[in-house]
């Protein structure tokens, strides 16, 4: 019996590894790395931005083709300055052009658009010019839906077509499935959440290694570390965690992993509140190193104003940390108050502090929640399971 021919999928992603890494980029890599190239091969069109990145490279099972002009840029994709940010507005055209060039070389069984952003317009234009090629749209949006709709302004009718022209929509939460319906999509929706590499985030470290890392931040006997891993943008509300420190004992310190346009303002806030000695801004930390920082911490906190899903929360759960979060967006799919974490109020530093204190002062509750959350992660959110579910989504998108 002849071997079943492999399928080829073209991905539209605004940015990608190794310089620009967020939840969407992690999802693409973790999923494609686990899918055999004998079944599916992937090309990608993405922005280059940083001149240190090659215009083409193979990353795992993805052939990455980068477009747009580039400069020396060491910050996050959220912190683009003039003229680099113009790349985003040009990407609907540069991304479409590159995809059209690739389509002349490769036959694509489907296109896969990661998020309905600037790259969504590029995918839409490609679909309109190639209507026979199936179009899969994945929604990973974390910004408030009201903000997303307002941002597209006069392009709103065209923005809706990113949804309505899709042949299949996959979302990472029920919240985003509702978003797809609001935007007029009437077809099939598959809810497949993001996942976590449980082996990586639950790995054990030697006591010496953890001690050395703790000492870098001056952690003494009796000190407690709270931690967040997030882009430093308004919607992740890191400022509310800094303000919450005023309601917590002085032995509670705060580790901030991540970069973004709010970095300067957050540092100024810590100085203004007299808390700079209790807050460590560590910038970008790789997924490979992140578990170590989680292991020296006591509570994970991210009081998001909005959230499509939130990889950081389930990564913290896999690392054995209790989680404080807000009941917004896709978080409610996996965090049950008093069972797999604790909810604080949105925009309320005092409420954040109260929930942190609950974990620090109630060891029985902490252990119960950590155990239940860890079991849930292993059963529902391991990347191996998620990649199998996404394999079925790709099969459906390509007509198998």
Kindly report the average pLDDT of the chain as a whole number.
95
Q: Are 366 and 341 in contact (CB under 8 A)?
A: no
Residue 22 lies in a domain: yes
Q: Are 162 and 116 in contact (CB under 8 A)?
A: yes
Residue 1 lies in a domain: no
pLDDT, tens digit, 9 for 90 and up, residues 65-76: 999 999 987 777
Chain-centroid distance of CA 375 in Å reads 22
Same-domain pairing of 218 and 186 = no
Most distant CA pair in the chain: distance in Å? 72
Residue 157 lies in a domain: yes
Average pLDDT over residues 118-140: 98
Give the other-Cβ count within 10 Å of 269's Cβ: 17
Average pLDDT over residues 251-258: 97
Q: pLDDT value at position 1? A: 40
CA–CA separation, 227 and 241 (whole Å): 10
The band of 4, judged by pLDDT with boundaries at 50, 70 and 90, is: low
What is the helix (H) or strand (E) element at residue 63, kind and residue range?
Answer: strand 62-67
DSSP, res 50: B
Same-domain pairing of 97 and 224 = no
Q: pLDDT value at position 80? A: 81
CA–CA separation, 271 and 363 (whole Å): 32
Same-domain pairing of 177 and 237 = no
Same-domain pairing of 47 and 156 = yes
CA–CA separation, 382 and 385 (whole Å): 6
Ramachandran class of 30: left when φ > 0, alpha when ψ lies in -120 to 50, beta otherwise = alpha
The CATH number linked to 25 is 3.40.50.2000
Same-domain pairing of 335 and 224 = yes
The band of 77, judged by pLDDT with boundaries at 50, 70 and 90, is: confident
pTM of the model: 0.93
Average pLDDT over residues 347-369: 98
The band of 385, judged by pLDDT with boundaries at 50, 70 and 90, is: very high
DSSP, res 47: E
Residue 146 lies in a domain: yes
Same-domain pairing of 229 and 149 = no
Helices 311-318 and 23-34 pack at an angle, to 10 degrees, of 60
- Quote the domain boundaries for residue 332: 198-380
Same-domain pairing of 336 and 373 = yes
Same-domain pairing of 316 and 216 = yes
Average pLDDT over residues 6-34: 95
Q: Are 197 and 377 in contact (CB under 8 A)?
A: no
Residues in the chain: 400
Number of domains composing the chain: 2
Chain-centroid distance of CA 38 in Å reads 28
Helices 118-129 and 156-164 pack at an angle, to 10 degrees, of 60
Residue 2 lies in a domain: no
Residue 112 lies in a domain: yes
Chain-centroid distance of CA 343 in Å reads 20
Residue 260 lies in a domain: yes
Same-domain pairing of 58 and 78 = yes
Same-domain pairing of 272 and 332 = yes
Same-domain pairing of 270 and 284 = yes
The band of 2, judged by pLDDT with boundaries at 50, 70 and 90, is: very low
Instruction: Indicate the SS3 state at residue 398.
Output: coil
Same-domain pairing of 247 and 165 = no
Residue 242 lies in a domain: yes
Three-state helix/strand/coil letters over 130-141: CCCCCEEEEECC
């Amino acid at each position: 019996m002849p071997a079943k021919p492999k399928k080829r999928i073209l991905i539209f992603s605004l940015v990608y590894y190794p310089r620009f890494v967020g939840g969407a980029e992690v999802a693409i890599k973790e999923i494609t790395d686990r899918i055999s190239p004998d079944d599916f091969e992937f090309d990608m069109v993405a922005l280059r931005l940083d001149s240190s990145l090659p215009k083409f490279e193979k990353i795992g099972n993805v052939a990455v083709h980068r477009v747009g002009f580039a400069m020396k840029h060491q910050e996050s994709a959220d912190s683009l300055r003039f003229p680099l940010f113009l790349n985003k507005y040009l990407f609907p055209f540069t991304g479409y052009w590159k995809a059209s060039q690739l389509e002349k070389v490769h036959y694509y069984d489907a296109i896969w658009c990661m998020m309905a952003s600037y790259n969504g317009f590029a995918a839409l234009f490609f679909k309109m010019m190639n209507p026979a090629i199936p179009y899969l749209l994945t929604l990973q949006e974390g910004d408030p839906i009201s903000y997303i709709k307002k941002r597209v302004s006069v392009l709103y009718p065209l923005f809706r077509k990113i949804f309505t022209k899709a042949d299949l929509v996959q979302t990472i939460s029920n919240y985003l499935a509702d978003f797809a319906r609001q935007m007029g999509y009437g077809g099939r929706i598959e809810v497949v959440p993001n996942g976590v590499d449980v082996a990586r985030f639950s790995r054990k470290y030697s006591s010496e290694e953890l001690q050395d890392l703790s000492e870098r931040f001056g952690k003494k006997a009796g000190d407690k570390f709270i931690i967040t891993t997030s882009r430093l943008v308004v919607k992740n509300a890191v400022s509310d965690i800094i303000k919450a420190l005023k309601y917590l004992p002085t032995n509670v310190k705060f580790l901030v992993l991540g970069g973004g346009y709010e970095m300067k303002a957050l540092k100024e806030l810590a100085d203004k509140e007299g808390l700079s000695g209790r807050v460590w801004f560590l910038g970008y930390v790789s997924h490979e190193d992140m578990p170590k920082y989680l292991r020296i911490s006591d509570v994970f906190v991210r009081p998001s104003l909005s959230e499509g899903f939130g990889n950081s929360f389930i990564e913290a759960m896999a690392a054995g940390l209790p989680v404080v979060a807000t009941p917004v967006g896709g978080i409610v799919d996996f965090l049950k108050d008093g069972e797999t974490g604790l909810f604080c109020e949105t925009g309320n530093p005092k409420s954040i502090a109260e929930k942190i204190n609950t974990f620090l002062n109630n060891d029985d509750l902490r252990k119960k929640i950590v155990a239940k959350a860890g079991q849930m992660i292993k059963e529902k959110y391991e990347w191996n399971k998620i990649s199998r579910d996404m394999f079925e989504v790709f099969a459906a998108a390509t007509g198998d």
